[in-house]
Chain A
Amino acid sequence: MYEKPMECKRCGNRDPAYFYKGHKGYYCRKCVRFSRILLEEEILPLDYEIAEGSEEYSFDYRLTDQQLEASRKCVEGLKYADVLLYCVCGAGKTEIAVASISEYLSRGLKVAYAISRREVVIELTKRFEKIFSNARVTGVYGGHHDELTGDLIVCTCHQLFRYYQTFDLLILDEADAFPLKGNETLMNISVNACKGRVLYSTATVDDTLRKVMKRRPYRTVELYVRPSFKPLAVPGIFYLPKYAGLFVLYVLLRKTEGQCIIFTTSKKDCEVFYRIFSRFFSCTYVYADLPERKQHIEDFRDKKYRFIFATTVLERGITIKNVSVIILNFAKIFDQSNLIQMLGRVGRGTDSLKGDAYVISDHFDPDIRETLKYLKKANSYL
């Protein structure tokens, strides 16, 4: 007799090796770290009401014509299918999504804005409270999940397992970034949190995202112009052996005016280079496991230090005026999306003028060539 294969409702896993029979019955081990879900168990979606009048929004600044055009296209596209909002870094993806959020809220439908990092959630909650002055905006993140309902929910991707089939519109910001990158389980959990449409907003599309998106029809909205109408920084590239590269780095650091972020491939590199270069310049370092990481980033923002050595922690969600970027590509770790995001730190904001970008690599990397192609294509739209 044919039996239906086991499938986890939440993460979509079908591999029988990941189902374990416990005392209460079969459960999926792929997503057990979120909470145990039995196979026969019925998961109920969260039910709550949206207050009237929460859809009103206002900005402190004016959006450009291109941004308005893109946000109109998003609202239009969400009527028929999912939307992929494909923008360059610093194009104002959050502002573009606001019109769609307002449109859904006015119909009394549930909306969530999911993003990868906890710090960004806290920052975005404050920003949305300003934009939607009448709405109750709830931030949900690790260690802060007592209150799960509100008019608009801003949460980390890891918290989306609490909302099974709840939302009518889910905005997945930076859908190609860590932790969603290459993590199909989390991606499925995120998409299953939504029963209506999904708006993916990203600067690059990777294989996992493409695979998930292919299941349903989607439309693409493209925006290649930043609100400042400045071109994206095209990096100068040095192919050099490692130690010659470090010498070039020294020369470049002597030359640059203003602050500079230096991206390294590993924690160890980050610390070693910091030790070497702290003899010559005022600099600091940061990586994800560092206990004082918040303090170091704050100090860098306050211009106490000129240079910061960082791993990919600083690649997203940080805006510093007149900053330059140097990427030390000494291992095959960075891919195209990493490179684009790192180079996207240059020239963000409306009045940030200066800033150079360099890549120092000790091996030939096809990703660098692809990145250059992408940047030139984006700049040709200006």
Chain B
Amino acid sequence: MRCIYCDKQMKKITLSSLFLERDLLCIECRKMLKVKRQCFLIEDLKVESFYEYDGIFKSLLLQYKECCDEALKDVFLYSLKDYIRIRYAGYRILFVPSSVEKRRMRGFDHLELIFEDVRLPRIKGLQMKEDLIQEGKNAGERSRMKDNYFYEGEELNRVLIVDDVVTTGSSMLGVYRAIRGRARHVRALSLANKKQYFSF
């Protein structure tokens, strides 16, 4: 078996592979993928993030999202799936929607694939007013995302908003604002955050 990222031959059996689930990355790559658990606030929304947004995480996410390499879907939440399921038990997952054009180009929804094995119920009904692409835009243009979402559906109890990277926080905030009146508890989860927020 070869490492999915650096293409090096891996050892057939390691101690961790006997007891834990099989990792697709080799040990060196997994070490380089730096874990930095952070909790921070966007207005009054509590957000939790797992990785540092630099180096190998950046190139992995780029390969997954832009080059449409679906094989990388299990890399990001390795050994975190159970944690999310237990920590957010009782919550229902709400994905931040990506633009229709991008989804058609990829052929899959990137967030749904990553969280495929996390056994929590999902919410549908969140939509974008305008089909905007955020990639390569500055903070001013990104702030348009704040009022770009609307929600049509049932009353909700506990909601977990899920996104891949928090850059300025506008899209996360947009979803939060759309859903705030209809839900009791809202928390958020992102794989990584670019900006240094004040963490608690």
- Give A contacts to B, CB under 8 Å: 17, 20, 22-24, 27, 29, 32-36
Instruction: A23 to B69: give the CA distance in the assembly, Å.
Output: 11
B107: Cβ under 8 A from any A Cβ: yes
Query: Are B68 and A29 in touch, CB under 8 angstroms?
Result: no
B63: Cβ under 8 A from any A Cβ: yes
B108: Cβ under 8 A from any A Cβ: yes
B32: Cβ under 8 A from any A Cβ: no
Instruction: A17 to B9: give the CA distance in the assembly, Å.
Output: 13
Q: Which residues of B contact A33 (CB under 8 A)?
A: 63, 67, 69
With A32-B69, A36-B69 as contacts: A22 and B108 at CB distance below 8 Å: yes
Query: Are A29 and B108 in touch, CB under 8 angstroms?
Result: no
Query: Are B2 and A17 in touch, CB under 8 angstroms?
Result: yes
Query: Are A29 and B107 in touch, CB under 8 angstroms?
Result: no
CB distance from A146 to the nearest CB of B (A): 13
Instruction: A199 to B140: give the CA distance in the assembly, Å.
Output: 49
B70: Cβ under 8 A from any A Cβ: yes
Using CB atoms, name the residue of chain B closest to A20.
Answer: B71
Among candidates A17, A23, A34, A35, residue contacting B70 with C-beta atoms closer than 8 Å: A23
In addition to A23-B108, A33-B63, A35-B67, 9 A-B residue pairs with Cβ atoms within 8 Å of each other are: A17-B2, A20-B69, A22-B68, A23-B70, A23-B107, A32-B63, A32-B67, A33-B67, A36-B68
Which residues of chain B (54-80) have a CB below 8 Å from chain A? 63, 67-71
Instruction: A17 to B68: give the CA distance in the assembly, Å.
Output: 18
Instruction: A36 to B107: give the CA distance in the assembly, Å.
Output: 11
CB distance from A21 to the nearest CB of B (A): 9
Instruction: A178 to B12: give the CA distance in the assembly, Å.
Output: 31
Instruction: A368 to B123: give the CA distance in the assembly, Å.
Output: 67
Using CB atoms, name the residue of chain B closest to A29.
Answer: B71
Instruction: A238 to B103: give the CA distance in the assembly, Å.
Output: 62
By size class, the interface of chain B is under 10
CB distance from B98 to the nearest CB of A (A): 14
Q: Which residues of A contact B69 (CB under 8 A)?
A: 20, 29, 32-33, 36
Instruction: A357 to B2: give the CA distance in the assembly, Å.
Output: 42
Query: Are A20 and B70 in touch, CB under 8 angstroms?
Result: yes
Query: Are B70 and A22 in touch, CB under 8 angstroms?
Result: yes
Q: Which residues of B contact A35 (CB under 8 A)?
A: 67
Instruction: A261 to B40: give the CA distance in the assembly, Å.
Output: 50
Q: Show 28 A/B contacts (Cβ-Cβ < 8 Å), sorted by A.
A: A17-B2, A20-B69, A20-B70, A20-B71, A22-B68, A22-B70, A22-B71, A22-B107, A22-B108, A23-B70, A23-B107, A23-B108, A24-B107, A27-B68, A29-B69, A29-B71, A32-B63, A32-B67, A32-B68, A32-B69, A33-B63, A33-B67, A33-B69, A34-B67, A35-B67, A36-B67, A36-B68, A36-B69
Q: Which residues of A contact B71 (CB under 8 A)?
A: 20, 22, 29
Q: Which residues of B contact A29 (CB under 8 A)?
A: 69, 71
Instruction: A17 to B7: give the CA distance in the assembly, Å.
Output: 11
Using CB atoms, name the residue of chain A closest to B7.
Answer: A30
Using CB atoms, name the residue of chain B closest to A185.
Answer: B7
Q: Which residues of B contact A17 (CB under 8 A)?
A: 2
Instruction: A303 to B174: give the CA distance in the assembly, Å.
Output: 56
Q: Which residues of B contact A24 (CB under 8 A)?
A: 107
Instruction: A29 to B68: give the CA distance in the assembly, Å.
Output: 10
Using CB atoms, name the residue of chain B closest to A25.
Answer: B107
Instruction: A36 to B106: give the CA distance in the assembly, Å.
Output: 9
Instruction: A12 to B71: give the CA distance in the assembly, Å.
Output: 20
Using CB atoms, name the residue of chain A closest to B69.
Answer: A32
Instruction: A36 to B70: give the CA distance in the assembly, Å.
Output: 10
Using CB atoms, name the residue of chain A closest to B59.
Answer: A33
Q: Which residues of A contact B108 (CB under 8 A)?
A: 22-23
Using CB atoms, name the residue of chain B closest to A21.
Answer: B70
CB distance from B62 to the nearest CB of A (A): 9
Q: Which residues of B contact A36 (CB under 8 A)?
A: 67-69
Instruction: A34 to B69: give the CA distance in the assembly, Å.
Output: 11
Instruction: A32 to B5: give the CA distance in the assembly, Å.
Output: 11
Q: Which residues of A contact B107 (CB under 8 A)?
A: 22-24
CB distance from B145 to the nearest CB of A (A): 26
